[in-house]
Amino acid sequence: MQVVEVIRSKRDGVELPAEALKRFVEDYTAGEVPDYQMSAFLMAVLFRGMTPGELGAWTRAMLHSGQVMDFTDMEGAKVDKHSTGGVGDKVSLILAPLAVVAGLKVPMISGRGLGHTGGTVDKLESIPGFDMKLSTGRFREVIEEVGCGLIRQTGQIAPADQKLYALRDVTGTVRCVPLISSSIMSKKLAEGIDALVLDVKVGSGAFMRTIEEARELADTMISIGDEMGKPVRAVITDMNQPLGLAVGNSLEVIESIEVLKGGGPQDLIDVTLELVAHMLDVKGLLLEGESLEACKQRLDGYLKDGSALEAFRKIIEIHSGDASVCDDPEAVLPGAEHEIQWCAPSSGVITRMQTSDIGMAGVDIGAGRRKKEDEIDYGVGFIFHKKLGDEVKEGDAILTVYYNDDAGLESAFKRFERSIEISADAQSFEAPALIKEVRGA
Ligand code: URA
């Protein structure tokens, strides 16, 4: 089929043969299909969707556009977690060492932050020396040695996704279930994993704003996993406010280390324990007779007794990072020169946070990037002092902004004014449940 026929068929809702989709992805990755034709196709997908057969063929083609790792000969269960993206989501930094202590191997390909969502690569690279540009050979050695390897997506792994994601970002085609699902699953299936746990975020800071949308995304990724013979479990979690209290790269590393030392915010701990318990359960690795609840308690013990922190130290060392960050994070990590509080403009209960706007306030002050080539400032960000459902008095500090350059401060403050709602008569307001549903394998 000619490219224009592929586009026309999708526009008209005609199911495309697997071979045509495979060829289309291959030719686009090789630079033989121009961006304008791919953009037209992506927009047609946004309106028409994809049939399960089309989605399988499309994802498979994206997966095989690059190297697919094979760790079948490596001992142990290889399980990863992937979050669909949120604000203050530093779960991977705690989850990876915790899963290692619990006996799993964790091969993790991570992304950089874009738009309002943060990325694990940026958080880890705020640790001086931390190198995520490992060759695939070295990635394997690292996993074998310390149980967890972390690399950033390179041109070798799912290169079709790298090109497509950049194009989707500038053509208004990011928020589309088949495109998000194929993007995530093509990268994750290239990691050589035995099973995957997805943290599907729902709410004002997530791609999926309603529970119905989140279920659709979860079920679509689960069905791709089924088709490829990989068990996938999805946990739908709340993203109507930042997770934990810290937003911004160094600040999120500091908060993660607090959790690894047995402290830290409870919502962050709860989501992490839930996900690691499912990583074990999806491979049938709970202890004999152990319930999920008991497993979470056991995992919490690894946070409290310091064993997860020691695993994190080894992970940092093997990635050439400065592991003394575990002892004195503030001394090691880039920081900010200035701080200023944003205070409650009125008294009442915090009933809403437009979390994507809070993420964009982070971009305003340099913590994130608008375009993928933007430089970021690792040291800046926010620490929240209040969460949804908290009562505040006029003038109480809701958050502290840590910044180096005041250029984006005014815009950030405007966003807080717009996005944080305080209601005078909402004493019965309850913050949304954190863990909403578990679906799949
Ligand atoms: N994360 C991804 O990796 N891809 C998407 O399309 C959206 C979120």
* Residue 228: CATH number of its domain: 3.40.1030.10
Catalytic annotation, pick one of 187, 233, 283, 415: 187
pLDDT level of residue 50 (50, 70, 90 thresholds): very high
Instruction: Based on the fold, state whether residues 242 and 105 are members of the same structural domain.
Output: yes
Judge whether 263 and 244 are in contact, CB under 8 Å. no
Instruction: Based on the fold, state whether residues 102 and 182 are members of the same structural domain.
Output: yes
Q: What is the CATH number of the domain that holds 24?
A: 1.20.970.10
Q: For residue 100, which of 323, 319, 309 has the smallest C-alpha distance?
A: 309
Instruction: Based on the fold, state whether residues 247 and 377 are members of the same structural domain.
Output: no
Please state which of the ranges 37-46, 165-174, 185-194, 205-214 shows the lowest mean pLDDT.
Answer: 165-174
Chosen domain end from 295, 329, 363:
329
Judge whether 2 and 132 are in contact, CB under 8 Å. no
Determine, yes or no, domain membership for 440: no
CA-CA distance, 285 to 365, in Å (whole number)? 43
pLDDT level of residue 26 (50, 70, 90 thresholds): very high
Closest ligand 1 atom to residue 187 Cα is: 3
pLDDT in tens, 52-82: 999 999 999 999 999 999 999 999 999 999 9
Determine, yes or no, domain membership for 173: yes
Closest ligand 1 atom to residue 174 Cα is: 6
**Structural domains in the chain (count):** 3
Between the CA of 405 and the centroid of ligand 1 the distance, in Å, is 30
Closest ligand 1 atom to residue 85 Cα is: 8
Q: Which residue lies with its CA nearest to atom 7 of ligand 1?
A: 180
Q: Which residue lies with its CA nearest to atom 6 of ligand 1?
A: 180
Q: Give catalytic status of residue 168 as yes or no.
A: yes
Q: Give catalytic status of residue 411 as yes or no.
A: no
Q: Give catalytic status of residue 82 as yes or no.
A: yes
Determine, yes or no, domain membership for 212: yes
pLDDT in tens, 216-234: 999 999 999 999 999 999 9
Instruction: Based on the fold, state whether residues 12 and 90 are members of the same structural domain.
Output: no
Instruction: Based on the fold, state whether residues 416 and 348 are members of the same structural domain.
Output: yes
Instruction: Give the pLDDT of residue 155.
Output: 83
Instruction: Based on the fold, state whether residues 143 and 230 are members of the same structural domain.
Output: yes
Determine, yes or no, domain membership for 217: yes
CA-CA distance, 45 to 164, in Å (whole number)? 13
Determine, yes or no, domain membership for 434: no
Catalytic annotation, pick one of 80, 89, 122, 161: 161
CA-CA distance, 7 to 166, in Å (whole number)? 20
Residue 204 φ then ψ, to 5°: -70, -10
pLDDT at 84 over 90: yes
Determine, yes or no, domain membership for 74: no
Portion of the chain with pLDDT greater than 90, in percent: 91
Q: For residue 37, which of 370, 179, 45 has the smallest C-alpha distance?
A: 45
pLDDT at 372 over 80: no
Residue 205 φ then ψ, to 5°: -110, 10
Instruction: Based on the fold, state whether residues 347 and 216 are members of the same structural domain.
Output: no
pLDDT at 166 over 90: no
Instruction: Based on the fold, state whether residues 104 and 34 are members of the same structural domain.
Output: no
Between the CA of 191 and the centroid of ligand 1 the distance, in Å, is 16
Q: Give catalytic status of residue 226 as yes or no.
A: no
Between the CA of 129 and the centroid of ligand 1 the distance, in Å, is 27
Q: Which two tokens stand for residue 399?
A: 């958050």
pLDDT in tens, 89-134: 999 999 999 999 999 999 999 888 777 888 899 999 999 999 999 9
Q: What residues contact 127, with CB distance under 8 A and at least 6 apart?
A: 253, 316, 321, 322, 325, 332, 333
Q: For residue 120, which of 159, 78, 148 has the smallest C-alpha distance?
A: 148
The residue among 110 and 144 whose pLDDT is bigger is 144
Looking up tokens 């499912």, which residue turns up? 278
Determine, yes or no, domain membership for 233: yes
Residues framing ligand 1 (Cβ under 6 A): 84-85, 111, 165, 174, 179-180, 183-184
Instruction: Based on the fold, state whether residues 239 and 379 are members of the same structural domain.
Output: no
Q: Give catalytic status of residue 385 as yes or no.
A: no
Portion of the chain with pLDDT greater than 70, in percent: 100
Instruction: Based on the fold, state whether residues 213 and 307 are members of the same structural domain.
Output: yes
pLDDT at 421 over 90: yes
pTM for this model (two decimals): 0.95
Instruction: Based on the fold, state whether residues 40 and 161 are members of the same structural domain.
Output: no
Q: What residues contact 433, with CB distance under 8 A and at least 6 apart?
A: 238
Host domain of residue 19: 3-49
The mean pLDDT of 231-247, rounded to a whole number, is 98
The residue among 202 and 175 whose pLDDT is bigger is 202
Give the bridge partners for 342, in sequence order.
Answer: 399
Determine, yes or no, domain membership for 110: yes
pLDDT at 371 over 80: no
Q: What is the CATH number of the domain that holds 413?
A: 3.90.1170.30
Catalytic annotation, pick one of 9, 110, 183, 186: 183
Instruction: Based on the fold, state whether residues 276 and 257 are members of the same structural domain.
Output: yes
Catalytic annotation, pick one of 82, 123, 233, 386: 82
Chosen domain end from 329, 363, 387:
329
